[in-house]
Amino acid sequence: MHGSPYSRLLTLAAVLSLTMVMAKTAARPVTNPRSPKADDFDTAIKQLRDTWVREFNAGHADKVADLYAQEAVLMRRNGSVHNRDSILSELKRSIAARANNYTVQSLHSEHSGDLGYDTGVYNENLPHRLAEGNYLIVVKKIDGDWKIMAHAAVPNPEPR
């Protein structure tokens, strides 16, 4: 692992932002800023987000891991893991450590073509404290399904 989780999150956000800007500058007519495809994405990202939270809280690490692409990366307070199998192991570890009552509130989601993102705030109960922070997921449409390609969860600093 290189760099702090915060610097990795900023790098990921910068790359995604640049990709989104480049995709939006391609010459194509805009007839309706809120097209049916945008509504489809909003529905899909909400379903993905709700499924992630529901299955994590139910202790179903395998069902949560299924939401990730095979080559996905998960960046959390204790490091990064790469690929779905490693993500599954990390999710099992979190659930076994009694992380629960995970909640999220999306603040913004957007997509262009087969790439999109969702960002917001999260809370989760850990055995000795409440963890709060920000998340960013980058999704890609693969074989007709939106899959998580990158997921960063950055905890707020603990009070001193």
- Tell me: the pLDDT tens digits for 48-60? 999 999 999 999 9
Distance CA 73, CA 87 (A): 8
Domain spanning 5-20+35-155, CATH architecture: Roll (3.10)
Cβ neighbour number for residue 51 with a 10 Å cutoff:
15
Each residue's pLDDT tens digit in the chain (160 positions)? 455 555 555 555 544 554 454 444 444 444 444 455 567 999 999 999 999 999 999 999 999 999 999 999 999 888 899 999 999 999 999 889 887 788 999 999 999 999 999 999 998 877 777 789 999 999 999 999 999 999 999 998 877 7
By C-alpha distance, which of 159, 148, 152 is closest to 70? 148
Domain segments of the chain as ranges: 5-20+35-155
Quote the Cα angle for 111-4-118, to 5°.
15
In whole angstroms, what separates CA 146 from the centre of its chain? 11
